[in-house]
Each structure stands twice: as structure tokens, then as C-alpha cells.
Amino acid sequence: MGLDDRKKQVLQAIVDDYVSTYEPVGSKALIERHNFTVSSATLRNEMAELERLGLIEKPHTSAGRIPSDKGYREYVDSLMHPDILTASEQQEISDRITDSVHEVTDLLKNATNALSESTGFVSLAMTPRLTGSFLTQLKMLMIEPGKALVVVVLSAGVVKDKVVRIPNFLTNEQIMQISSAVEKNLYGKPLDEITLITLASSVKEAEIPEALMNQVIYEAYVAIKQADKLDVYLEGEHKMLSLPDFSELGRARDLLGTLSHDGMVAGYVNEIEKSSEVVRSGDDTYMIRIGQEIALEGLEDCSFITTTYNIGDTLSGNIGVIGPKRMDYSKVISQVNFVRKKLNDEIKRLSE
């Protein structure tokens, strides 16, 4: 966008001021708070121009200007200067992430917590997408007659399990026989190549009546498929109620209503990931959606900052923040990225 330097300065000042005061900013206020070498009248002309360009707008005739979505976008893309977290901010986040960790899911939960607490907004993490991962173990454990636990172990050490019903009179040995046949034949198979058909053919040699076998196979299939389901950790919804941006009850309601739909948010984050307008700057990596760019009801006044964490070489998932579009972008981006790095480190450490 071909803005001359002064216009950039003005837009930047407007965004900065508006973010910190939540008051529409006018030409005089701008002069007072920043060292412009020109008069308010000149700024007024500049602001009129910025408005014509669609970067700022006024809530009503006699008010100051506020950034439009496009204005925020311009700000994020080329105006803001990066923020560096203080040592104590970093420490606080690190502490939260490393608190009583046993599994990757603990790390994810902790990271969600750290992000929500440090930003004061909503944060979310999703378990890694498992497309591309493959089966390394499949065990079945008899719980009691008619009931078994299917344990699915995937590459990168991801473990999922599920209690399933099986025919009552199947013995422990038969169950073990089935599961080890599956395991032997499907070892290394990518998750998306495992179907009812490949599963069934993997147990051909087992000496178990077909009808019984079918039920077990079906249950195992469901268990494997559900391993693919993404879990979502969402935290800090109620924090949005403290923000002036959502002091209108209707807005707050719409927002929380949509957020309470785990699947909806997760689906959307996945979509962002796919369309991948990834921003890289320094060792920061993130994706960002602002205001109306978010196609979710009730999130018109929000921005979405997400990033990608990795487990091993093959698995990755998303973690991010949902805050008001009137947020301190550079700060939140730093926080998200610090969490991403710390999370990656800890995941690595955990799998050593």
C-alpha cells in the first residue's frame, strides 16, 4: 500500500492511541500525545485522506477516528514495531508451561493457560493433526466380558484409546490374537489408509467366526478413526467480559455462544492453517485474521492470532489467541511466539 511516510506515522499513532485508550482519536489528541511537527489542521487533512483510503473511520460525525479492519491490517502488515517480552513475562509463561507435565496434552493445556493468563484474552490449543501419522501399535485389553479397551499408538508416540463393546464370550486370547494380527499387518500404515477393508483383510488368518470378527473389527475401526479427532483446549472465555469492547451484552453473548462451540472454532483454525497466509519475521511465525476477515458469527470484533507447534518431524498442531481486534498486536504476537517456542522445546525434551 503506497502510503507516504507521514500517513504511515499518523495511522500508526491512531492505532497505538486507540488500542491503549479505547477512545476515538481526534486531530488534537494526536498532536498532544505525539511529537508531530505539523499542526492539527494538517493532520485533519491527512486523516480525511486516510479515511478516503478506508483505513480509518469515524463512529459518528463529531467523533475522532478509529482504525478500520483494513487499517489494522495495514498496521499489522507494515507499521507495528516488534515487542520484546521482559524477562519476568518470559519467566511467568515458562513456569506455567512446565508446571507438572507428564504428557504432551499437559503441555498443551498449560500453554493454553499461559497464553490466556498473559494476554488476558481467550486462548486455544488443538491436539496435533494426525493425517500423515501412522499406526505403530494396536492393543486390545479385556476389561470385563463384553468390554475391551482398544489402545492405538501412533507415530511420534501419540496414544489414544477407547472402551468398546465386544461379543460377550470372546476370550482374552482371542482378543489378543485379533489385535496382534492387526498390528502386524497394519504396522506403519498411515492413518488415512486404514479402512474397514484393510482392517478386515489384516485378520483373515485368525480363527474366529466372521460375524464376531466383524463386530470387533468395526469397533477397532471406530477407535482408530476417533483417534484422528482433534481435541480443543479453550481457556479464558470469561475474560472477554472484562474488556470494554464487549461491554455490550449482546456482543458478549454472541461471542461466547460461538466460542462454546468447540468444533466450530477448531474447524476455523484448521481453515486458517490451510489457507496459510503465514507471516514470518525474525524467528516469529504466525497467522493472523482481523475482524471481518473472521468468518465466524460474533467474532467480527475479534482478531485471531495462531501459530503452529510441532511434535517430531511429522506432527503439528495449532495454538493461538482470540482477542479483541483492538489489541496490542505486537505484544500478543510476541507472546504467542514465545509460547510456541517454549512449547516446541518442551515437547522435544519430553520425547527424549
By CB under 7 A, name the binding residues for DNA. Answer: 23-29, 37-42, 44-45, 47-48, 51, 58, 60-65
Place of cell 476477515: 293
Instruction: Identify which of residues 28 and 229 has a Cβ nearer to DNA in the complex.
Output: 28
**Cα(22)–Cα(15) distance, rounded to whole angstroms?**
10
Q: Residue 152: phi, psi to the nearest 5?
A: -110, 120
Spell out, one character per residue from 127 to 146, where the chain touches a copy of itself: x when CB under 8 A holds, - when not.
---------xx-x-x-xx--
Instruction: Identify which of residues 45 and 260 has a Cβ nearer to DNA in the complex.
Output: 45
In whole angstroms, how close is the CB of 78 to DNA at the nearest point? 22
How many residues lie near a copy of itself (CB under 8 A)?
34
Where do runs of H (alpha helix) occur along the chain? Answer: 5-21, 27-33, 40-52, 69-74, 87-97, 104-119, 172-186, 196-202, 210-227, 249-259, 262-275, 329-350
33 binds, among a copy of itself, DNA, none (CB under 5 to 8 A by kind): none
CB neighbour burial string for 300-330, b if at least 16 within 10 angstroms, e if fewer = bbbbbbbbbbbbeebbebbbbbbbbbbbbbb
Instruction: Identify which of residues 16 and 346 has a Cβ nearer to DNA in the complex.
Output: 16
Query: Using CB under 8 A, which of the segments 50-58, 159-167, 267-275, 332-340 binds a copy of itself?
Result: 159-167
In whole angstroms, how close is the CB of 147 to DNA at the nearest point? 58
**Cα(344)–Cα(332) distance, rounded to whole angstroms?**
18
In whole angstroms, how close is the CB of 263 to a copy of itself at the nearest point? 13
Instruction: Identify which of residues 16 and 301 has a Cβ nearer to a copy of itself in the complex.
Output: 301
**Cα(99)–Cα(92) distance, rounded to whole angstroms?**
11
Chain residues that interact with a copy of itself, rule: CB under 8 A = 102-103, 136-137, 139, 141, 143-144, 147, 149, 151, 153, 157, 159, 161-165, 222, 235-238, 241-242, 247, 249, 252-253, 256-257, 259-260
